[in-house]
Structure 1
Amino acid sequence: MDEEQKLEQQETTHQDTHKSSESKGIGKLFMAGIVGGAVATIMTAFLLSTNILTSANESENSEQPDEESQEQAEISDNVFDSENISTDLNELAKSIVGVVNIQQQNIFDQGSETGTGSGIIYKKDAGDAYVVTNQHVIDGAEQVEVALNQDERVDAEIVGKDQLTDLAVLKIDGNKVSNVAKLGSSEDTIVGDTVVAIGNPLGLEFSNSITKGIISGKNRSLSVDTNGDRQPDWVTDVIQTDAAINPGNSGGALVNEKGEVIGINSMKIAQQRVEGMGFAIPIDQAQKVIQEIEEHGEVKRPLVGISAVGINQVPQPYNQNIQLPSDVSEGLVVAQVQDGSPAAEAGLQQYDVITKINDHEIKNTIDLKTYLYNQVKINDEVELTFYRNGEEQTVTLTLDKAI
């Protein structure tokens, strides 16, 4: 994927719910490599010269659903070619719901819809039903409603959300829920498997739309922009599909021939020259995040306590403060150290250049976060290799929990 695609891929199904409200949530900047998973390298000079860590992300309003309710059409169960398909897509579709983001636009506004997305009812427990959707679908919401069908909506409680994986869990009254989606395994799928995407493209008017395609690729690693500065700051592993995914499909289901949810539709590449490149969060990964959100309301990740940028992102005149041997050209430059953090206790300073963590090479913030969030846990000890004033040093620190 070329750089233009990397930067434009966020013109994705994120358009379905994110309006100006997107700047409130995704635009929040946390300490890099470190805090809750949303890290950025924006306004590098600002980072190096001030203590202000903010950013914003603008996006266009999505189309709003028609006020008139429509009778939900019956869905054929003969979508797949196989004669041995036991699934009933009609029943499965009842577990795919609409998620409505409601925000107050001004002091006179009682709250109005600012966007809609999709969600999957995946569990019922003790009178409650649980819905998983994308974090960007509910971002900035002052109230969230779940549309069970064209005519019935229920209030939803936000159990928790995780910006880094773009997942959120909602809780609704389970007494009105009759169908729960069956979750499958994304690992068991192969390229070429037939799949369908179920969701609400362009709003609730087209609720429970089904599109058919195949798995075009597995374990795709996409660079994504989590903070809206049009610079990639995280790499996410996704399933690629050519099933049509449109604004409003975010949070909906990617389903295999057994009628099992194998992915949560999240994004697509939106360029005129690109067709049929949609992406879903693998359900195996999503279930781990869902479980932690249910238990803690968030995903807890290790904290180092720095904000940092890659060497090539440090502008003049700040790069004059960086001294490195001639054979070192890559690393992570510390912009700020958080007071009381593991990094502060270990003595890390501004303009230190981190090159390794536990002998794993670090070239940028993505490398650091990927290692922290996948290879180590809170309270683990790690060894950082860094350069200060041109000299290589090492320090051991104990990872804290993100705050």
Structure 2
Amino acid sequence: MGLFEDEFYSTKPSRRSARVRQSGRHPYRGLALMVAAALIVGSGTTLLVTRQLAPKSSPLVITEANNPRPTATPDPDSDPVVEAVSRVQTAVVSVITTDVKEDLVQNGGMGSGVIFKKEDGKALVVTNNHVIETGNTYEVVLADGTHREAKLVGSDAYTDLAVLSMKDDGIKTVAEFGDSDKLRVGETAIAIGNPLGLSFSHTITKGIISSKQQTIPVYLGQNGDVRWEMEVIQTDAPINHGNSGGALINLKGQVIGINSMKISDTGVEGLGFAIPANSAKPVLDTLVKEGKIKRPKMGIYSEDLQPFTIDFDVLKLPKSVTKGVVVTDVADPAKSAGLVAKDVIVQLDQQEIDSTMELRKYLFYKKKIGDKLDVTFYREGKKEKVTLTLSELD
């Protein structure tokens, strides 16, 4: 069994408590800096997923006017990879994050980013949330080595995306997003970033699209107590620490993904992951406009109903109820609606709920802040129902 260190998202539950916080009073301000994580695949094999952060050393439609293409006749002897890289390379930047408190530098880190838009005298840079969440002061290093102060526009832990802004003086290249839904398994994929820091900035690695969609389990929060799943592109283009937030491009020079993580273990090679461009674009658009992604909350803390973790005699459940979500604590709006600890939620509206993950996905994908939500649950062996109004997740 292998073990890896995931500096940001963990696929291993908190050692502190099995309780998974669905919504409400989240006890963290950022994600874990150093936590163990494991992704179980295959027959008894444990692989390791790591976030690629190096140590410190309007809708998203880009027009030809913003990013003009060469008009010269292409050289028949030219390399298509070289041509693709030349179109976007200068839009890829390094992102330096520093945690400054009382004029003292506490820690820092480095990742990559991509200039994806220019507006109102600002150049906007997409990077990973786990690149920027380790600090409060940001700096962008351009392809020519110029350092520029940057400000955080917005970030989102669930999608692992963030947007920085800086002055657009001299910025000539803006990356163009491609259609990640049209990716083909086996097509060329090129990663651009700064693995291991500035010494290797704008390093180019090449591979293929290994899978158009993979689901990677992650744990968010300082203690790894909020479980989520990310839908990502799998590639064998080498991705290393510092590539986080950099570009994964196609042979047209279009950004098809934002590099985010890899599986790392002895004997494992070529398992890197990127956030699909089509998933990133609406998130970035919202972050630019509102600074955050607004999501609904019920106001419960919960854990999955599992025979090896739950005392069924205490819950007094019918023998037929084997799946659901056990409420461990409540806050508003669930508290005001009458839910209490030890209630076992089995249905939201007309949707059966077997786990906390299903509950969270139903809320985030099917409901909005202010919507009514019917909650069916068991209390003391009796099936009951309440209706609550969803509020905003902090």
The normalised TM-score by structure 2 is: 0.81
User: What is the alpha-carbon root mean square deviation over aligned residues?
Assistant: 3.1
- In structure 2, distance between residues paired with 1:95 and 1:112: 30
Show the counterpart of 2:94.
98
Q: Which residue of 1 aligns with 2:335?
A: 344
In structure 2, runs of 5+ residues without a counterpart are 36-52, 58-73
Q: Does residue 1:196 correspond to 2:170, yes or no?
A: no
Counterpart position of 1:328: 321
Matches within 5 A, 1:121-200: 121-149=115-143, 151-200=145-194
Partner SS state of residue 190, structure 1: coil
2:283 & 2:208 partners in 1: Cα distance? Answer: 25
Q: C-alpha separation between the residues in 1 aligned to 2:136 and 2:81?
A: 42
Rounded Cα–Cα distance in structure 2 between residues aligned with 1:132 and 1:302: 25
The answer to whether residue 354 in structure 2 is matched with residue 354 in structure 1 is no
> Secondary structure of the residue that 2:169 maps to in structure 1?
helix
Residue-by-residue CA offset, 1:271-294 (whole Å, 9 max, x unaligned): 113211111111111111111111
Q: Deviations over 1:202-243 (max 9, x none)?
A: 111111111111111122111111125467711111111111
Q: Which moved more, 1:329-338 or 1:229-238?
A: 229-238
Residue of structure 2 in register with 1:397 after alignment: 388
Q: Deviations over 1:141-190 (max 9, x none)?
A: 12100011363110111011101111111010011312110111111111
> What secondary structure is seen at the aligned counterpart in 2 of 1:225?
strand
- State whether residues 45 and 314 of structure 1, in contact with CA within 8 Å, keep that contact through their aligned partners in structure 2: no
Contact 2:54/2:111 (<8 A) preserved: no
Distance in 2, Cα, partners of 1:313 & 1:45: 14
What is the match of residue 285 of structure 2? 291
Opposite residue 100 of structure 1, the aligned amino acid is I
For residues 319 and 106 of structure 2, what CA distance do their matches in structure 1 show?
58
Offset of 1:88 from its aligned partner?
Answer: 4.2
Q: Which amino acid counterpart does residue 324 of structure 1 have in structure 2?
A: L
Q: TM-score, normalised by structure 1?
A: 0.79
Q: Quick one: distance in 2 between partners of 1:190 and 1:232?
A: 33
Deviations 1:69-90 (A, max 9, x none): xxxxxxxxx9xx9977894412
Question: What is the count of residue pairs matched by the alignment?
Answer: 353
Q: Which amino acid aligns with 1:57?
A: A
- Please say if residues 199 and 253 of structure 1, whose CA atoms lie closer than 8 Å, have aligned partners that are also in contact: yes
Q: 1:230 to 1:265 in 2, by over 3 A?
A: same
Query: SS in structure 2 opposite 1:111?
Result: strand
Q: Cα–Cα, structure 1 residues 222 and 232, in superposed 2: closer, same or farther, change >3 Å? A: farther
Please give the alpha-carbon distance, in whole angstroms, between the structure 1 residues aligned to 2:341 and 2:369. 24
Residue of 111, 135, 141 corresponding to 1:117: 111
In the alignment, the residues of structure 1 paired with residue 256 and residue 220 of structure 2 have an alpha-carbon distance, to the nearest angstrom, of: 23
Residues 44 and 314 of structure 1 are in contact (CA less than 8 Å); yes or no, is this contact kept in structure 2? Answer: no
Q: Please say if 1:275 is aligned against 2:258.
A: no
Quickly say closer, same or farther: Cα 1:45–1:268, change in 2 above 3 A. Answer: closer
Contact 2:20–2:303 at 8 Å: present in 1 too? no
Match of 2:369 among 370, 378, 388: 378
Structure 1: runs of 5+ lacking an equivalent = 19-25, 28-39, 66-77
SS of the residue corresponding to residue 95 of structure 2 reads: strand
Distance 1:171 1:280, change over 3 A: same
Residue identity (%): 40
1:59 is aligned to 34
Task: Identify if the C-alpha distance between structure 1 residues 161 and 149 changes in structure 2 by more than 3 Å, giving closer, same or farther.
Answer: same
Answer yes or no: is the 8 Å Cα contact 1:150–1:204 preserved in 2: no
Indicate the structure with greater strand content: 2
1:364 and 1:231 mapped to 2: Cα distance? Answer: 14
Change (3 A) 1:58 1:362: same
Task: Tell me whether 1:261 sits opposite 2:272 in the alignment.
Answer: no
1:23 corresponds in structure 2 to none
Q: Check the 8 A contact 1:213/1:242 in 2, yes or no.
A: yes
- State the Cα distance separating 1:133 from its structure 2 match: 0.4
Instruction: Tell me, yes or no, if the aligned pair for 1:157 and 1:170 is still in contact at 8 Å.
Output: yes
Contact 2:19 2:302 (8 Å CA) reproduced: no
Structure 2 residue identity aligned to 1:136 = H
Q: Cα 1:355–1:239, aligned 2, differ >3 Å: closer, same or farther?
A: same
Of 228, 231, 236, 1:234 maps to 228
Q: Decide whether the 8 Å contact of 1:253 with 1:261 is kept in 2.
A: yes
Q: Distance in 2 between matches of 1:392 and 1:82?
A: 70
